[in-house]
A = this chain, B = another copy of it.
Amino acid sequence: MMLINGEERTQLDATDRGLQYGDGLFETLAVRDGAPEHWERHLRRMHDGAQRLGIPVPDPQLLAEEAARVCHDGGRGVLKIILTRGAGGRGYRSPVQPTPTRVLSLHPWPDYPADHAEQGVRLRLCRTALGLNPALAGIKHLNRLEQVLARSEWDDADIAEGLMLDSDGRLVCGTMSNLFLVRDGELYTPELTRCGVEGTTRARVLETAADHGIRCHITDLQLDALWGADEVFVCNSIIGVWPARQVEQHSYTRGPVTRRCIQWLSATDGS
């Protein structure tokens, strides 16, 4: 089911700036028993991103009602929310008073192998680099060609995710996930002030690990940090946490910090 500005439709005006320029943002939420998980957290990120892009934010109550309508069939699924600046303006110039477009749609729960969290996954390094743009960094916006190109680099079903570097060679994230390294019992995750998306699951990992007394470093990370890590994992709202068992030719084990993070996250899922 799809709702566009509250109406049950599947078609959108082709003049919408979301299509014309990628002028908008999105959220992807896990849905369990017909309810989107971590709703407040996703809404807050969308709100922050929209403010930075100057897109008016829809009434949260309205969005919640529409999400409930889209998800009401119950069961497991993925709720995607797209918010664009709507139509209008002149070329790249925004309209003075934008009328944003909201698109809410429910998708089947993806059939990722259930043992990924237990057995760990294979990761690769992508050649496609992320350009630096502090004005867009952190925002889950609609300009995703870099990720599309990176994801097109491999076809091997045994590789679950690709890691991306920025144009200066720093580690940033996976094509669809955030990245964590563990070294000497402490967590490291890339700074996202120049590129990358500030994932909601990344935030949950950081918060819950800090609550449990694990030191967390948000910092610039080079490849040598990856090769020297004791544990490596990627995360997002849908996959949860996937420990890496291999990145290129380097092997890793699903270590104690990763295991504890997985436990802590499952304990607060559905909240």
Contact = CB atoms under 8 A, between A and B. Distances in A.
A255 to B, nearest CB: 28
B10 A92 contact: no
Interface string A1-28: 0101000011111111111111100100
A93 interface: yes
A99 interface: no
Nearest to A84: B19
User: A4, A93, A195 — which one has the most chain B CB atoms within 10 A of its CB?
Assistant: A93
B21 A144 contact: yes
A92 B26 CA distance: 13
Interface stretch (A68-76, A131-139, A209-217, A223-231): A131-139
Contacts of A149: 53, 135-136
B92 A150 contact: yes
A20 B16 CA distance: 12
Given A152-B93, A176-B92, A19 B23 contact: no
A143 interface: yes
B145 A141 contact: yes
A54 to B, nearest CB: 6
A207 interface: no
Contacts of A151: 91-94
A251 interface: no
A269 interface: no
A105 interface: yes
A234 B167 CA distance: 28
Interface string A109-140: 01000000000000000001111111110000
7 contacts: A19-B142, A20-B144, A21-B143, A92-B151, A94-B151, A128-B133, A136-B149
7 A-B pairs closest in CB distance: A131-B131, A22-B22, A11-B11, A143-B143, A21-B144, A92-B151, A131-B133
Interface of A: 2, 4, 9-23, 26, 53-54, 82, 84-85, 90-94, 103, 105, 110, 128-136, 141-152, 167, 175-176, 195
